[in-house]
Amino acid sequence: MTQPPARLLILGRSGQLARALAAQAAGRFDAVRAAGREDADLARPGSATGLIAEWRPDAVINAAAWTAVDEAETREHEARAVNARGAGEAAAAAPALGARFVLVSTDYVFGGAPGAPFAEDAPPAPVNAYGRTKLQGERAVLAACPGAAVVRAAGVFSGAGSDFPSAMWRLAEARNEIGVVDDQLTGPTFAGDLARRLIALTLLPDAHGVFHCASGPQLSWAAFAEACFDLAREAGAPSARVKPITTADFPRPAARPADARLASTRLEAVTGLPAPDWRTGLSKALDAWLSSR
């Protein structure tokens, strides 16, 4: 592809990242289409490839995924159908069109070994079914489309939906104190900041391989919850006290990475965009959450 992509296809439509991508893409492409499951169901063989062949995009960003982490433990084959087989099949349709392909992946491909913040070439070691299926998807995409870009993101939030800050603010409407794990580290990333970097990367045809996108400063989930409530308190919105707890105090069906912090230096170097600061994004997320009440 020697010319900037004119037609962008976003796989995913209703998710927080897909919506942010559509907003960021406006005015950057001649045509943008966000395809929901009824248009391109990655779990159904031939669905996404049929749409790609029909609409003939110049670039595809796959923001669709099975993201129900706990459910994936007992339904791993269903998660794999979307995150691995479906993603790889969609990527395989891109080279024939000379189309750019970008896959959104996750920090959950790490967590089973120390070494964070992880660089792009660090050995993955997922600790749950969701992470395994996303890693399989990365490999399937790069095998089917060697010129593809895979972007691992961490703790995506927007203030609209089931993201972490929204959950905290919603719980604060009914509770004075909320227990949040303090022994799991992350780099939460505002959906708009991630979308901006995904669009920038999509417009760079020679940028391929694995990239990381995580905001700073990186911290524990309990510390992030405290920041959510500090900001809400300043705005007169529901807030609560945070009770730091351990992972053992809050057992869940799927194990979570104790430390899946990502080093985003490669993405910064290629796009010229420094790692975002989640504190700016959190303020925007609170505005979005309050406007939806």
pLDDT digits (tens, 9 = 90+) for 158-192: 998 789 999 999 999 999 999 999 999 999 999 99
Q: Is 130 a catalytic residue?
A: yes
Per-residue pLDDT averaged across 94-113, rounded? 94
Reply yes or no on whether the pLDDT at 1 is more than 50: no
pLDDT tens track for 217-228 = 999 999 999 999
Report the number of secondary-structure helices (H) and strands (E) in the chain. 10, 12
**What pLDDT, on the 0 to 100 scale, is given for residue 265?**
93
Q: Report yes or no on 143 lying in a domain.
A: yes
Tokens of 262: 């990502």
For the chain, what is the mean pLDDT? 95
> 128: Cβ–Cβ under 8 A, 6 or more apart, which residues?
69, 72, 73, 108, 111, 254, 255, 256
pLDDT-based confidence at 114, cuts 50/70/90? Answer: confident
How would you classify the pairing of strands 7-11 and 31-35?
Answer: parallel
**What pLDDT, on the 0 to 100 scale, is given for residue 80?**
98
Q: Report yes or no on 142 lying in a domain.
A: yes
**CA atoms of 198 and 24, how far apart (whole Å):** 9
**CA atoms of 131 and 189, how far apart (whole Å):** 18
**What pLDDT, on the 0 to 100 scale, is given for residue 3?**
66
**CA atoms of 23 and 195, how far apart (whole Å):** 9
Paired strand residues for 8: 32, 59
Q: Report yes or no on 292 lying in a domain.
A: no
Q: Report yes or no on 63 lying in a domain.
A: yes
- Domain with 201 in it: what CATH number? 3.40.50.720
What is the share, in percent, of the chain residues with pLDDT greater than 70? Answer: 99
CB neighbours of residue 28 within 10 Å: 15
Q: What predicted TM-score, i.e. pTM, was given to this entire model? A: 0.96
Reply yes or no on whether the pLDDT at 88 is more than 60: yes
Closest by CA to 34, choosing from 63, 58, 5, is 63
CB neighbours of residue 123 within 10 Å: 10
Give me the catalytic one of 130, 164, 229, 278.
Answer: 130
Cβ-contact 22, 32 below 8 angstroms: yes
Q: Report yes or no on 225 lying in a domain.
A: no
Q: Report yes or no on 240 lying in a domain.
A: no
Per-residue pLDDT averaged across 154-159, rounded? 96
**What pLDDT, on the 0 to 100 scale, is given for residue 115?**
79
What is the share, in percent, of the chain residues with pLDDT greater than 90? Answer: 94
DSSP 210-223: EEEE--BS-EEHHH
In the chain, the number of structural domains is: 1
Q: Give the containing element (helix H, strand E) for 193.
A: helix 191-202
Q: Report yes or no on 88 lying in a domain.
A: yes
Cβ-contact 237, 284 below 8 angstroms: no
Closest by CA to 103, choosing from 213, 186, 257, is 213
Q: Report yes or no on 234 lying in a domain.
A: no
Reply yes or no on whether the pLDDT at 2 is more than 60: no
Type of residue at 81: A
- Domain enclosing residue 112, as ranges: 7-158+187-218+260-278
Paired strand residues for 140: none
User: What are the helix (H) ranges across 99-148?
Assistant: 129-144
